[in-house]
Amino acid sequence: MFSCLSGDQPEAAAPQGCSCCGGELQSLTRRISADLSRRGFVAGIGASIATLGLPRMTRAQGASNPQPPIVLTNFLLFDGKSEALRGGLALMVEGGWIKAVATGSPAGPEGSRTIDCGGRVVMPGLIDAHWHSIFAALPIATLFAADVGYIFLAASAEAEWTLMRGFTTIRDLGGPAFALKQAIDEGLVPGPRIYPCGAMITTTGGHGDMRPLSDLPRSPGGPVSFMERTGGANIADSADEVRLRVREQLLQGASQIKLVGGGGVSSPRTTLDMLTFSEPELRAGVDAAADRNTYVAVHAYPPAAIRRAIVSGVQCIEHGHLMDEATARLMAEKGVWLSIQPFIGDEDTVPLSGQSRINQLQVIAGANTAYPLAKAYKLKTAFGSDLLFSAQKATRQGIMLTHLTRWYESAEILKMATSTNGELLALSGPRNPYP
């Protein structure tokens, strides 16, 4: 007999057919499962990050054609928390949710479909803690020049590919993803669950301020730029403006807020050593988010930007590649999260030049310091990919996980991309869109 779990667990919608044999999944399987096997895990993790041929299931309430229950048998379960694999179990999936678990191979309800998993590993869906649903797959020139309808159609297509790479949840750290999230949640298009922050909030000249110089000067209270109108980034140059922009994102349904604390790689007019928001401005954003019972993540690379964010009450640092030991120690003392991405070379990014290339090389070099510091000080560390501006590069989302083998054991990597990232998502508290 099946017994009910303590709570229904979501099973992401997926297109018809199995993606176990895809080239990217095969590569990820070989890299991770080989190491897992040496530690007593079963090789062949492909099915655990694919969808076992589950049919596409709508999330729309009151679907007119509900799918019959599906029973999964003959698998090893990796629960995202323990390194031990559990066998002799069966899972029942109904209406897109894991409804029950049982020992042995019990018969499912009448009309159910049974899938023999062939001894493969079943695991929770992967979570990408730093993704840009709208910006991931299109060149930056297209994002500025194309019709908005085309941009969102392209993002919808990329959302399905994201799901089929095994990422059933993403934390969107900048961009107008609210409509895409709604369409996915209503079952209109397939894609991962999205935790949106809406527009990243930056300062004049900060990372994300991609306005053409012809838009300057901007008069206080004057018209906003195309970038701001479309929800890519908002500019704020005072504590009051920060509060306004934070509240606007929360009004639209943001589950967390992103403030920009310094320069960034893809913003060629910034450097990584620069600082943007002052401490009072950061505090204003933190307080406005706290009023809605959620949190602020700050984009920051150098120690000064990270420390300023921490003393302002920020709970999560995005990137942090240039941190030093004193900063890592402070993060550990304050319990601040590190959401960092394993950029180790040019394979994962579009070609860059000028100051952007200089910034990129600093990030790549910094990864070899930041990750060991995160381990040494036992920082709460999340995995994200932050792949941008290329459909081809976006396909490397899963490959980014394998880069972590430089610093972590394979079981640690899979835990980071499942249960640990899940803990970070939980910081949104009542603003969690999938409680």
SS3 257: strand
CB neighbour list of residue 127: distance below 8 Å, 6 or more residues apart: 167, 168, 169, 170, 171, 383, 417, 418, 421, 422, 425
- Assign domain 127-431 to its CATH architecture: Alpha-Beta Barrel (3.20)
- Give CATH 3.20.20.140 domain extents, the chain: 127-431
Distance CA 10, CA 393 (A): 28
Q: What is the mean pLDDT of residues 253-282?
A: 98
pLDDT band at 2 (very low <50, low <70, confident <90, very high): low
Q: Residue 413: what pLDDT?
A: 97
Q: What is the pLDDT of residues 239-257, one digit of tens each?
A: 999 999 999 999 999 999 9
Instruction: Please check whether residue 236 is in contact with residue 245, taking contact to mean a CB–CB distance below 8 angstroms.
Output: yes
Q: Residue 32: what pLDDT?
A: 46
Where do the H-state alpha helices sit in 292-340?
303-311, 325-334
What is the value of pTM for the model shown?
A: 0.88
Q: What is the mean pLDDT of residues 312-332?
A: 99
SS3 314: coil
pLDDT band at 29 (very low <50, low <70, confident <90, very high): very low
Range of lowest pLDDT (39-53, 107-121, 169-183, 354-368): 39-53
- Give CATH 2.30.40 domain extents, the chain: 3-124
Q: Residue 362: what pLDDT?
A: 98
Q: What is the pLDDT of residues 99-131, one digit of tens each?
A: 999 998 888 888 899 999 999 999 999 999 999
Q: Residue 106: what pLDDT?
A: 84
Distance CA 299, CA 259 (A): 6
Q: Residue 337: what pLDDT?
A: 99
Asked whether the predicted pLDDT for residue 1 surpasses 80, the reply is no
Count of C-beta atoms within a 10 Å radius of residue 6: 5
**Measuring CA to CA, which residue among 33, 18, 30, 42 is closest to residue 120?**
42
Is the domain spanning 3-124 CATH 3.30.70? The answer is no
pLDDT band at 137 (very low <50, low <70, confident <90, very high): very high
Q: Residue 16: what pLDDT?
A: 33
